[in-house]
Amino acid sequence: MDPYKIDFFALRVLSMVFELKSFSAAADALGVNQSVVSYAVNRMRDVFDDPLFLRQGGGIVPTDRCIAEIGEVEAMLQRFETMITPQDLDPDKVTKNFRVSCNYFERIWIMAPVIKELRKSAPKSQLTIMHSGTQGASHLVQGAADLLIGPMRPEEDGYYCRSLLKDSYVCVMDPSNPLASRRLTLERYIGAQHVAVAYGDGWTSDYLDQLPPESRNELTPVVTVPSPGDIQTIVQGSDLIATLPRKFAMTLLPDLTMAEFPLPSSLEIGLVWSARTHGSVTQKWFRDLVVSAVKSL
């Protein structure tokens, strides 16, 4: 097949099947018959000389070639969208599915007002939130997400970042913990029984980097969890302490005693996006909406 005969609809179908991992779901999302989706994917298979999707269990999985090319496909779609989107964008006519990669803190603290504002401003749009773990930058590159929200700062070229909010760290513990009635010095903090949150391989919380190297080496968590969502249940009635963002602790853990982190600390949550979506009028509007919604916190 002549690759120059491929149209943007076929690219959009490929992107949608990749995102939803289903031919039928992609057909529903695009408002077409499944045969139309199958035909478009078959055309793309001819162009790439690759099956692109393989059956596995009850679903489909993308091939390595599909994963390698989907970022470029998404970039072309975004550039085309930028070309055809009026510069005076009307939010009421926006039908895009905005995709955000973030972790528990951001989902609970930040995304709630974003969802409310998006429903009010662009009721025809959709929002997909995915767990970023330590893979947020990969989600941007692969086109799985349009925006990454969190403390992560990719160092490679091709990323843009905008500060969203700043916070500091506190320690939470059960009121019966002996440390709850004493000033939490650095020595007492290091000697405490810690529960830590680790989002994945290579993840280091900012507060650990703010400890002196010798103190950091002495701190060994006795419990490690993949999300702060269970912290209150784990800490209550135990001798454990957890180090968490202040806003999270004040809002969601009112039954625990809060103590100041023993050293000056800082945590900055930012918006990160890639060159793929940088020029999109619609994506810029969404980024501005996120910033505006967070200001209401």
- What pLDDT digit, counting tens, does each position of 26-38 carry? 888 788 999 999 9
Residues 6 or more apart whose Cβ sits within 8 Å of residue 62: 18, 52, 53, 70
Whole-angstrom CA distances from 139 to 74, 143, 147, 226 are: 12, 6, 9, 19
Q: What is the mean pLDDT of each run of 10 residues along the chain (297 residues)?
A: 85 89 87 93 94 91 92 84 75 90 89 94 94 85 85 78 92 94 94 90 82 88 89 93 90 86 92 84 92 86
Report the percent of the chain where pLDDT is more than 70. Answer: 99
Q: What are phi and psi of 155, to 5 degrees?
A: -90, -15
Comparing C-alpha atoms, which of 50, 84, 86 is closest to residue 67? 50
Whole-angstrom CA distances from 110 to 4, 236, 269, 290 are: 43, 25, 10, 8
- What pLDDT digit, counting tens, does each position of 44-86 carry? 999 999 999 999 888 899 999 999 898 888 888 878 877 776 6
pLDDT at residue 58, rounded to an integer: 82
237 close to 174: Cβ distance less than 8 angstroms: yes
Q: How far apart are CA 108 and CA 22, in angstroms?
A: 29
